[in-house]
C-alpha cells in the first residue's frame, strides 16, 4: 500500500524501510516480518518491543548500531533506546497516514479500519496524532470526520452519532432515517465495539447510538397522552396473550412512516451490557422478554388499527399479533428454528 523510509542520526542512529502490505486478515501469519540489524548484522526478527503491536503487519528492516548485538526479550523491554525507537516509528507512521488523509484520501480510506482504529485504541501518542483524521463511512458511501457528521446533523441529532452494524437486518431503520434525511455511519468492523467506547471516553459530550436503539422525535407524530395509554394497555394485553411472552414491553407510537407496522428497539446501555455478558459467557436472557427489547407498534398502520379495533375472538387478531411480533424481532435477533417454521407457515 505504501512505505516509509526511516533515517535518523540523533539521539540515536537508525536507518530502515517499512512496507505496509495489502491487509491480510490472517493476523497469525504476520509476525516476525520486520528484521532488526546492528551494522548489517542480523539480530532478531520478532521485535514487538521495537515495533508497536498494532503495526506488526508491516514488513521491512531496521538497522540500528546503538542496539546491543546480544538481545534478549527482557533486555529489549528495559532498554531506553528501544522505547525511543518505538516512539519514533509511531510518529513517522502517524505523519505518513495523516499526510495521506489530506493528499490521497481514497487510499487512506481503504485501510483505515485495519491499521488506524487499532492504533488509536492501543497507543495514546498515536491517537493524539491521528484524532483529527478519524473518518467514518456514511449512508451515502462518503467518508466524514466526527466533527463534520455532528455539524451536519446538529439540528436533528445534537451530539448523537447513529451507527449501522448490519445493513440487511437494519434495513427498515435505514429507510426510515433516509426518509427523514438523517445520516448514520457504518461501524461493521470487529474492532468497532471497543472503538466506540474509546471515542466516547475522549469525547464525553458525544453519545453513540445504534440505529435501532431508540426512536427520536424526528420519526414520530405527537400522540394524545390518554390515547397512547389506552392503546398501549389494550395492545399490550393482546400481544402478550398471542405471543405467550408474559413480560413483553409494548410501546405505541404514531410514526411518520405509515408503512412500518412494528419494530423492536433496545436501548444502547442494554445492548452493550448484553454484549459484555456474552463476552464473559453469561446468560443475556435475564433481561426479560425479547432480550429486553421494547416492541414499538405504529398506531398509524392499518394492521395495528385492526388489532386495536377487534376483539380477541376475531381469529385474525392473534395471527396478526404473532406476525407483527416476529417481523419486529427478525431485525433484532435470529428467530429459533421453530419460530422461523411457524413464521413461514403463517406468512
Band of residue 27 on the pLDDT scale cut at 50, 70, 90: very low
Q: Say which residue, 226 or 24, is predicted with more confidence.
A: 226
**In this predicted model, which residue has the larger pLDDT, 9 or 33?**
9
pLDDT-wise least confident of 11-15, 81-85, 254-258, 260-264:
81-85
In the block, cell 464473559 appears at 280
So what's the pLDDT on residue 305?
A: 94
Question: In whole angstroms, what is the distance from residue 59 CA to residue 44 CA?
Answer: 14
Q: Using CA atoms, how far apart are residues 255 and 265, in angstroms rounded to an integer?
A: 14
- Residues 134/92/198/144 CA torsion (nearest 10 deg): 0
Pairing of strands 160-164, 207-210: parallel
Complete edge-to-edge strand list for the sheet that includes strand 249-255: 220-221, 249-255, 294-298, 262-265
Mean pLDDT, residues 286-308: 82
pLDDT tens track for 176-207 = 899 889 999 999 887 788 889 999 999 999 99
User: Which of the listed ranges 27-41, 58-72, 127-141 does the model predict with the highest average pLDDT?
Assistant: 127-141
pLDDT score recorded for residue 76: 62
pLDDT at 287 over 80: no
- Render pLDDT for 89-122 as a digit per residue (tens, 0 to 9): 888 888 888 888 888 888 787 766 667 788 888 8
Q: How confident is the model at residue 274 (pLDDT cuts 50, 70, 90)?
A: confident
- Asked whether residue 211 carries a pLDDT value surpassing 70, the answer given is yes
Q: What's the full length of the chain, in residues?
A: 347
What pLDDT is stored for residue 232 in this prediction? 92
Residue 285: the pLDDT is: 59
Rounded to the nearest 10°, the torsion over CA 256, 261, 264, 268 is: -10
Q: In whole angstroms, how far apart are CA 67 and each of 12, 18, 58, 60, 154?
A: 9, 18, 20, 17, 53
Looking at the chain, the whole-number percentage of residues with pLDDT higher than 70 is 88
Query: How many Å apart are CA 318 and CA 241, to the nearest integer?
Result: 8
Amino acid at each position: 500500500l505504501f512505505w516509509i523510509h526511516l533515517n535518523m542520526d540523533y539521539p540515536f542512529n537508525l536507518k530502515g524501510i517499512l512496507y505496509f502490505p495489502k491487509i491480510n486478515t490472517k493476523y497469525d501469519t504476520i509476525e516476525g516480518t520486520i528484521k532488526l540489524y546492528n551494522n548489517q548484522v542480523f539480530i532478531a526478527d520478532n521485535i514487538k518491543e521495537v515495533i508497536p503491536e498494532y503495526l506488526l503487519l508491516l514488513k521491512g528492516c531496521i538497522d540500528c548500531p546503538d542496539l546491543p548485538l546480544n538481545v534478549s526479550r527482557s533486555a529489549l523491554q528495559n532498554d531506553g533506546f528501544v522505547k525511543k525507537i518505538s516512539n519514533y516509528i509511531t510518529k513517522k507512521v502517524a505523519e505518513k497516514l495523516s499526510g495521506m488523509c489530506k493528499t490521497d484520501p481514497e487510499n487512506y480510506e481503504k485501510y483505515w479500519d485495519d491499521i488506524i482504529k487499532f492504533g488509536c485504541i492501543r497507543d495514546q501518542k498515536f491517537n493524539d496524532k491521528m484524532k483529527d483524521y478519524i473518518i467514518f463511512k456514511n449512508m451515502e458511501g462518503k467518508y466524514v470526520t466526527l466533527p463534520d457528521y455532528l455539524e451536519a446533523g446538529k439540528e436533528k441529532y445534537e451530539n448523537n452519532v447513529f451507527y449501522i452494524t448490519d445493513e440487511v437486518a437494519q434495513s427498515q431503520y435505514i429507510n426510515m432515517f433516509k426518509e427523514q434525511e438523517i445520516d448514520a455511519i457504518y461501524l461493521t468492523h470487529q474492532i468497532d465495539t471497543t472503538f466506540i467506547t474509546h471515542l466516547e471516553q475522549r469525547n464525553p459530550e458525544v453519545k453513540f447510538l445504534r440505529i435501532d436503539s431508540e426512536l427520536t422525535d424526528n420519526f414520530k407524530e405527537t400522540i394524545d397522552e390518554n390515547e397512547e395509554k389506552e392503546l398501549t394497555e389494550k395492545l399490550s394485553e393482546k400481544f402478550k396473550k398471542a405471543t405467550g411472552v408474559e413480560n413483553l414491553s409494548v410501546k405505541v407510537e404514531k410514526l411518520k412512516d405509515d408503512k412500518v407496522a412494528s419494530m423492536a428497539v433496545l436501548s444502547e446501555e442494554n445492548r452493550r451490557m448484553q454484549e459484555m455478558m456474552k463476552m464473559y459467557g453469561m446468560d443475556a436472557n435475564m433481561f426479560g422478554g425479547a432480550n429486553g427489547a421494547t416492541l414499538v407498534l405504529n398506531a398509524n398502520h392499518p394492521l395495528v388499527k385492526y388489532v386495536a379495533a377487534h376483539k380477541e375472538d376475531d381469529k385474525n387478531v392473534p395471527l396478526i399479533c404473532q406476525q407483527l411480533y416476529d417481523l419486529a424481532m427478525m431485525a433484532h435477533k435470529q428467530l429459533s428454528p421453530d419460530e422461523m417454521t411457524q413464521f413461514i407457515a403463517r406468512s
